[in-house]
Amino acid sequence: MSAILVSSCKLDLLDNPNAVTTGNTDINYLASQIQISYSGHFNQLSDPGMRLTRMLNAGAAIYDNAITPGGLDGTWNTAYAGILNDIKTLIPLAEKGEFFVHAGMARFLRASVMVNLVDTFGDVPYSEALDASNFNPKTDGGASIYTAALADVDKAIENFGAKSKSGLTTDLYYSGNVDNWIRAANTLKLKILLNKRLIDAAGSKTAINSIIAGGKLISTTSQNFAFKFGTSQVNPDNRHPRYAGQYSPTGGGDYQSNAYMGSMYDKKDPRIRSYFYRQVIVNSKDVNEIRCITNQKPNHYAATDYFCLPTNVGYWGRDHLSNEGIPPDGLRRTAWGLYPAGGQYDNDNGKPIALVAGAAGAGIHPIFMSSFTDFMLAESAITLGTTGDAKTLLESAIRKSMADVRTFILASAEGGKIATFEAANNIVWANEVNNYVTAVLSAYSSATSDADRLNIVATEYYFALYGNGIESYNLYRRTGMPKNLQPALDPNPGAFIRSFYYPTSFVSRNANAKQKANMTSPVFWDNNPATLFK
């Protein structure tokens, strides 16, 4: 019997039965997997970006310990072995079968992944990266990869415009709206060109004006490019990873940034109750819970720098590059709120978080939101002179960010609680937004230089970016703004990270790979002086 089975089965023992190939692939399943993997890629790179730009605490005392090569192995694997390898398989199948929407989605996400890798690591493998016969691919220059990414995006737009036999069976971002995919592709081009403005101002200006004239950018809430999470805890756990990492019977999880929370509180930002959930609404006086309450503000901190406790109403985070031990504060520290993590809305309840609280993890990854477009266009108008009035774009961007947050929270499981709380406390959202916008525009009108005006735009973009460390990290390296970010606790933390170490798995397995001496080398488009950062 066994002889018959062996002779009748053409099994090549060199084939990996688990590998995705053109001969064993369901194109719709593969397209879905690529979309899901991309959300993981976004989260893996967003996390360190948020920590470096003071959206979250970075649990190290010096910059050189804030990003470790071993900690980046999963990020590298998700990009190369996962997304890019799957895309390499999908595109020929999609084009052969005339499934052009599938091909456009794949090209768009490939361009985004490659740009993110360049923005994170600098030069990375590309042209030799997915050659199955080459175990030692060389790196390509970041500039050449950007050029290839722009070409990929243009081809993606062409694919989206072609007559396709079928759309995506499962479209996790746009539910089959091809026009929105085109808008997302153009918004990615805008991001790429804005990064390049430092080294090619004329080229970026011309190309950005062309995109503006085309009128196909993400411009409304319904066009947002965001990955949506569910509420299932198992099989699979599809909750927002920030929620899953913090909302449990014992709490814990991320420490929010004191400076980020303090600034929003002082600015009376209407989004603060959606971004953060306070488990206590009175500051702790227990030194065993918050050691810094008995410490003096470091001498290298300015008088305006937040330190230890950013408010007197229970916002409980950590200062930049604080690596203190973990006290029993898991059910007391400020947690991720309703937006974007799908947690709880802060209605002054002051009670500990719990499993299945709030929106139960039904959050989003805010990858390209409608407000981001106008913030980028405002920056471009100031720095390049592209089409559009920067002040008008600034106001539009702020209002769109407020609208994006408002739409999300009211549609969530917390919507009823929000309405009840606002009614009981005479809170009128529209009035709060108008007051906030008026204050920002007044400051903008009073600014006496483009640098000051750009700082206002960058600052507002920064507070709209909560949950997106990829773009906050790019923004900071591109502009050095917001100015006066909170310093590290240590007066000598080392130089700010301009690009990451290569992952251990890359340098240990690739004969052509060479680890960087440090993380101070800027990526190809970042020609700013080191003195701009802290």
**Domain covering 27-217+499-509 assigned CATH 1.10.760.10 in the classification:** no
Residue-wise pLDDT tens digits, 198-246: 999 999 999 999 999 999 999 999 999 999 999 999 999 999 999 999 9
Determine the Cα–Cα distance for residues 281 and 315; give it in Å rounded to an integer. 7
**pTM confidence score:** 0.94
**What is the model's pLDDT at position 125?**
98
Q: Which residue has the tokens 């091909």?
A: 103
Assess contact for 360 and 239: CB atoms under 8 A: yes
Enumerate the CATH 1.25.40.390 domain ranges in the chain, comma separated: 27-217+499-509
On the question of a cis peptide bond just before residue 482, with omega within 30 degrees of 0, the verdict is: yes
* Cα–Cα dist 60/37, whole Å: 28
Look at residue 21 in the predicted model and tell me its pLDDT. Answer: 53
Residue 525 has pLDDT above 80, yes or no: yes
CA–CA dist 503, 514 (Å, integer): 11
Distance CA 114, CA 325 (A): 36
User: How does pLDDT run across 402-420, given as a tens digit for each residue?
Assistant: 999 999 999 999 999 999 9
Assign residue 243 a region (left: φ > 0; alpha: ψ between -120 and 50; beta: otherwise). alpha
* HEC-encoded secondary structure of 113-180: HHHHHHHHHCCEECCCCCCCCCCCCCEECHHHHHHHHHHHHHHHHHHHHCCCCCCCCCCCCCCCCHHH
| pLDDT one-digit tens code per residue, 357-414 | 999 999 999 999 999 999 999 999 999 999 999 999 999 999 999 999 999 999 999 9
CB 136 within 8 A of CB 125: no
